[in-house]
């Protein structure tokens, strides 16, 4: 990653470590990429976002810091999930976030902590005016996370529930 400055996003209990394209390549295939993972390895959502980063890097579209972060517990250094941005801000200043936790890390407030950190970090860029997120209708826990984080419900899109938070 020569010449690219990457930031660890810190919260009270977590550290979001940026995943390089090489890390993303490994994570996309379910490999640990050098982290010890709660539950044995990255979940499918983390693998999917890693695949997006991998493909973006292959075609020259990867724009750090707008990618995948490995969510690590500060207390013990164990990776508990993945989170990040689906890409850089679009022409309207909108970025989309996503997050996933290992089942053993759910229900502890980590997802809300991660979502708030991603939003706060996105809004440090003056080009970003809106953060969006989407979830499946049956994922009520994620819907509660987004509402607690300050998102507003938007019209559904392609069977997904959409959420939006403006600066």
Res 157: pLDDT: 76
- pLDDT > 80? residue 9: yes
- pLDDT > 60? residue 3: no
Q: Considering the domain 9-166 in this protein, what is its CATH number?
A: 3.40.630.30
Q: Mean pLDDT score of the chain, rounded to an integer? A: 93
| For the chain, domain boundaries | 9-166
Q: Give the model's confidence band at 6: pLDDT under 50 very low, under 70 low, under 90 confident, else very high.
A: low
Interval 68-99: pLDDT, tens: 999 999 999 999 999 999 999 999 999 999 99
Angstrom distance (rounded) from CA 161 to CA 163: 7
Full-model pTM: 0.93
Which residue did the predictor score with more confidence, 80 or 60?
80
- Is 82:69 a contact under the CB 8 Å cutoff? yes
Q: Give the model's confidence band at 2: pLDDT under 50 very low, under 70 low, under 90 confident, else very high.
A: very low
The DSSP code sequence of 99-149 is EEE-GGGTTSSHHHHHHHHHHHHHTTSTT--EEEEEE-TT-HHHHHHHHHH
* Beta bridge pairs of residue 152: 164
- pLDDT > 60? residue 4: no
- pLDDT > 70? residue 46: yes
């Amino acid at each position: 990653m020569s010449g690219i400055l990457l930031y660890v996003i810190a919260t009270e209990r977590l550290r979001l470590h940026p995943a390089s394209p090489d890390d993303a390549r490994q994570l996309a295939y379910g490999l640990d990429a050098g982290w010890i993972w709660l539950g044995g390895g990255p979940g499918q959502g983390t693998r999917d976002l890693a695949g997006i980063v991998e493909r973006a890097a292959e075609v020259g579209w990867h724009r750090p810091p707008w990618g995948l972060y490995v969510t690590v517990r500060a207390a013990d250094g164990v990776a508990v999930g993945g989170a990040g941005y689906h890409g850089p801000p679009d022409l309207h200043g909108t970025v989309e976030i996503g997050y996933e936790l290992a089942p053993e890390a759910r229900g502890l407030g980590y997802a809300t902590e991660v979502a708030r950190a991603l939003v706060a970090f996105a809004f440090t860029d003056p080009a970003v005016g809106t953060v969006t997120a989407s979830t499946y209708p049956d994922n009520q826990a994620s819907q509660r996370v987004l509402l607690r984080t300050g998102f507003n419900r938007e019209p559904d899109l392609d069977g997904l529930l959409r959420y939006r938070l403006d600066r």
